[in-house]
Amino acid sequence: MMDLRPRSHPTYLAFLVHRISGLLLALFLPLHFWALGGAIQGEAALEGFLRWTDRPLVKAAEFGLVLLLAAHLAGGLRVLALEFLGWRRRQKDLVAASAGISLAAGLLFLLAVF
């Protein structure tokens, strides 16, 4: 029987995570371009920026960024699987697997940073 509450379905949550992570990554892009612009300004500007990135709060933000990237990648792969493979009864399993892969990627990055 079909669930009449589509917003309670795990694939809806996967849809939301994919869209929200994409929006947050798009908001991050200007900061990323600003940092790259520092490299063009010279070695001293880039060195100052790199020293600033050694702060614990920035490291935590990097973890969040990697988690967003992994979540967006996993969600995109799930959407590609839907496009090319069609709907499967195991969509909930794919959602759980993509969430687990995203979290594992973020945690591996966190372990490598600290």
What is the structure's pLDDT at 6? Answer: 66
The more confident residue out of 4 and 9 is 9
Look at residue 36 and tell me if it is in a domain. no
Q: How far apart are CA 11 and CA 56, in angstroms?
A: 34
- With respect to residue 4, please indicate whether it lies within any of the assigned structural domains: no
**Span 74-111, pLDDT tens digits:** 888 878 877 787 766 777 777 778 778 877 887 887 77
* pTM of the entire predicted model: 0.67
Q: Is residue 87 part of a domain?
A: yes
Residue at 18 is within a domain: yes
Angle at 29 between CA 52 and CA 64, to 5 degrees: 65
pLDDT tens, position by position, 11-65 = 788 888 889 999 999 999 898 888 888 788 888 888 888 898 889 898 888 888 8
In a domain, 48, yes or no: no
Structural domain boundaries enclosing 79 = 12-26+55-113
In a domain, 68, yes or no: yes
Q: Does some domain include residue 2?
A: no
Q: What is the pLDDT of residue 113?
A: 65
Number of domains in the chain: 1
pLDDT band at 4 (very low <50, low <70, confident <90, very high): low
pLDDT surpasses 80 at 5: no
- 101, part of any domain: yes
